[in-house]
Structure 1
Amino acid sequence: MAEQILRRHGSWQRLRWNILGVLGCCLIPYLARLVTNPVGDGPGLLVATLTGSLIASLIGVYLLRSLSNYPGVQSSLYIFPSFLTGYGIVFFTFLFSRFYYSRLVFISSLLLCVAWFYVAYFKAQRRSGPTIGIIPVGAAVELIEVPHVKWRVLDDPMDDASDLSAIAADLRADLSDDWERRLSDYALDGLPVYHSKQLHESLTGKVQLEHLSENSFGSLSPVSAYMTLKHLLDWITAALALLCLLPVFVFVAVMIRLDSPGPAIFRQQRIGFRGQPFTCYKFRTMRVAPAAAGDDRSHAMTQSNDQRITRIGRFLRTSRLDELPQILNVLKGEMSWIGPRPEATVLSRWYEAELPFYRYRHIVRPGITGWAQVNQGHVADVDEVLHKLHFDFYYIRRFSPWLDILIVARTIRTMVTGFGAR
């Protein structure tokens, strides 16, 4: 929804400009090589290269537009990765099918596409952002607190709306007859009218689920086809990762044992898929302490600057390398690479008692990383967990490979910056 407003407002995101740019970026190297042709490239080879370049660039456009649909995405960060992925797919297709092609033309079109989209992006940034009108009735007024959007409150149905990109209204509120007629006029004039709750979700990446009977998921379960495919891919990639990272496992385990007494692997019972408990594995990052009582929540929480964290443990937490042993949980089918983070049993039971619908997050497999982690980081307080829950609901609703790809990209950034670690 937010992306629809931005596309409506910003010309660079319009599909026709994307296609025109792609055509130009692919045709220019092709025509230049066709005219000069100093090493005798045949017409058939150049046509195959042009076709591959067009396919690769369209894949890049599709990936970029898919990733840009999510809140908080700065499109400029994903231009190069999107096109590199598209061209990489076509490159390996050429390689394994033994197609002959012109490397110079192929690489030139990649560089031109990236340059074109960067220029278009920064040109669009110079323009003013979208302005959205708010009808100040009901929950719609809460949208004013959402950043990065220009809001204008419409106090009267006759206020001028010619400069607005969209209208936000609480469609469940008791609107006056004049406002209801005016909303109809907006829609007839082609000005989008959005329910404030759905617009808040699209702009913030959080879903506030108030009643299961009125949820906007359509079904309480995410798409089962992708869930099955994701589970299969999780197992395959986890098996490959375990083989590749085995030396890292051994090295980190030795460093932990040298740094402080105790086992290298920390085991903790957590609540997972469909509310079933399981044993979660992590590299130990804290000093070994006496066993706590079953209902002692303080031992299950990690506080800011927690004194129990060891020297090597702080590095492992900041870099997220302490999560690597959970690959074993992925292989056992208890976890996924991406999903809501599993909580310790004692904390999960506490949150379930305090927060309505907390158990709903168990509808998908818990993940090593997730949408809440890359947006909010580590939390333990109930108020913070409520916000985290809204991110989890957003992930479940938008359950898709594109959101997973975005989470992977942001997780890499998190590992580099240490965002949200405790």
Structure 2
Amino acid sequence: MLLRKWKDIPEFMKNEEVRKYYDILNKKRFSLILKRFFDIVMSMILLLILSPIFLVLAIWIKIDSQGPVFYRQERVTQYGKIFRIFKFRTMISNADQIGALVTTQNDTRITKVGEKIRKCRLDEIPQLINILIGDMSFVGTRPEVRKYVDAYTDEMKATLLLPAGVTSSASISYRDEDEVISKYVDNKHSIDDVYIEKILPEKMKYNLNYFYKYTLAKDLILCVKTIL
């Protein structure tokens, strides 16, 4: 969570666009320390409280379809670090090998139980583990797969100055992302193309604006908005 000195930032992130956002965060170092403290304490508390739900969902998933309880896809977080995200599996095994890296409306790879879990966003709960170990934060840019990060503009790379998040303003605004993607997909544009060209740039406007407005209090408000 701690912000590195500029000289220690990965070379692929060192550009004038990123420096602009770095300077903003550099003035909020103490707030970022509080942010990490909040992440540790709240993730521990929620993991304890929600442990019965973890057990019920795990059994439900195993009964419904073959495969592991958790989906462990590689994603990118702070400074370009690769980590494996924890999510309850809502699709058939090896779904990302037989289709796009994002889901669309009426995606046939989603299981019956997975559809119900996704509607309530319960598949995201295991990311509390990622928060506790420091790969993620409660609020921040949603972690993308390497393919999408490779398509980042110089300015978009600024989002990698902070850990990836479970929720954000972009996540709330694009909570029906699969439906939006479905509107653009056709014979000339694949799902991945639509995401990179249409969806990602719009989401990044919210993510980059977060740097200007960040305070711990506003993070708490975003968490409440997400639940609502």
How does the TM-score come out when normalised to structure 1? 0.44
Equivalent residue number for residue 311 of structure 1: 112
Whether 2:159 is the aligned partner of 1:361: answer yes
Aligned counterparts of 1:412 and 1:374: Cα–Cα separation in 2:
10
Higher mean C-alpha deviation, range 250-259 or range 403-412: 403-412
The separation in 2 between residues aligned to 1:386 and 1:290, in whole angstroms, is: 25
Q: Aligned residue for 2:192?
A: none
1:282-297 correspondence runs (5 A): 282-289=87-94, 292=97
CA distance in 2, matches of 1:299, 1:213: 29
> In the alignment, does 2:154 pair up with 1:347?
no
CA offset digits 1:180-216 (Å, max 9, x no partner): xxxxxxxxxxxxxxxxxxxxxxxxxxxxxxx72995x
For residues 319 and 334 of structure 1, the distance between their equivalents in structure 2, rounded to whole angstroms, comes to: 23
SS at match of 1:219: helix
Cα shift at 1:218: 8.2
Q: Of residues 56, 59, 62 in structure 2, which corresponds to 1:257? A: 62
Answer whether contact 2:65 2:111 (CA < 8 A) is retained: yes
1:337 aligns with 2:138: yes
Kindly indicate whether residue 173 of structure 2 is the aligned counterpart of residue 375 of structure 1: yes
Counterpart-to-counterpart distance in 2, 1:242 and 1:389: 30
Verify the 8 A CA contact 2:18 2:155 in the aligned structure 1: no
Which segments of 5 or more consecutive residues in structure 2 lack a partner in the other structure? 1-15, 182-194
CA change 1:327–1:213 in 2 (3 A) is closer
Match of 2:73 among 260, 268, 293: 268
- Give the drift of 1:221: 2.8
Deviation at 1:220, TM superposition (A): 4.8
Equivalent-residue separation in structure 2 for 1:390 and 1:228 (angstroms): 25
**Superposition pairs of residues 153-232 of structure 1, within 5 angstroms:** 212=17, 215=20, 219-221=23-25, 223-232=28-37
Verify the 8 A CA contact 1:358 1:389 in the aligned structure 2: yes
| CA pair 307-229 structure 1, distance change in 2 beyond 3 A | same
Q: Is the contact made by 1:335 and 1:365 (CA closer than 8 Å) also made in structure 2? A: yes
RMSD: 2.2
- Aligned pairs, how many? 195
Q: Amino acid of the residue matched to residue 318 of structure 1?
A: K
Label 1:330 to 1:214 Cα distance change in 2 as closer, same or farther (>3 A). Answer: closer
Larger relative CO (CA 8 A, sep 6+): 1 or 2?
Answer: 2
Contact 2:17 2:154 in 1 (8 A): no
Matched-pair contact (CA < 8 Å) for 1:364–1:396: no
Change (3 A) 1:394 1:287: same
> Are the equivalent residues in 1 in contact too, given 2:72–2:85 (CA < 8 A)?
yes
1-structure distance, mates of 2:201, 2:77 = 18
Percent identity (aligned): 28
CA contact (8 A) 1:300 1:347 kept: no
Contact 1:283 1:325 in 2 (8 A): yes
Q: Deviations over 1:364-414 (max 9, x none)?
A: 11111111111223363422110100100011221112321221121012x
Asked if the contact 2:34/2:216 (under 8 Å) is kept, the reply is no
Q: Could you state the TM-score of these two structures normalised by the residue count of structure 2?
A: 0.78
Distance 1:347 1:218 in 2: 22
Instruction: Compute the displacement of 1:290 (Å).
Output: 6.9
Task: Compute the displacement of 1:284 (Å).
Answer: 0.2
State yes or no: 1:238 paired with 2:43.
yes
Q: Secondary structure at the match of 1:300?
A: coil
Runs of 4 or more consecutive aligned structure 1 residues displaced over 4 Å after TM superposition? none
Quick one: structure 1 residues 310 and 273, their matched pair in 2 at CA, closer, same or farther if it must change by over 3 Å? same
- Looking at structure 1, the residues matched to 112 and 17 of structure 2 have their Cα atoms a distance apart, in angstroms, of 45
In structure 1, what is the Cα distance between the partners aligned to 2:160 and 2:18?
18
The structure with the larger Rg is 1
Distance 2:143 2:70 in 1: 17
Check 1:291–1:361 CA distance in 2 against 1; reply closer, same or farther (3 A cut). Answer: closer
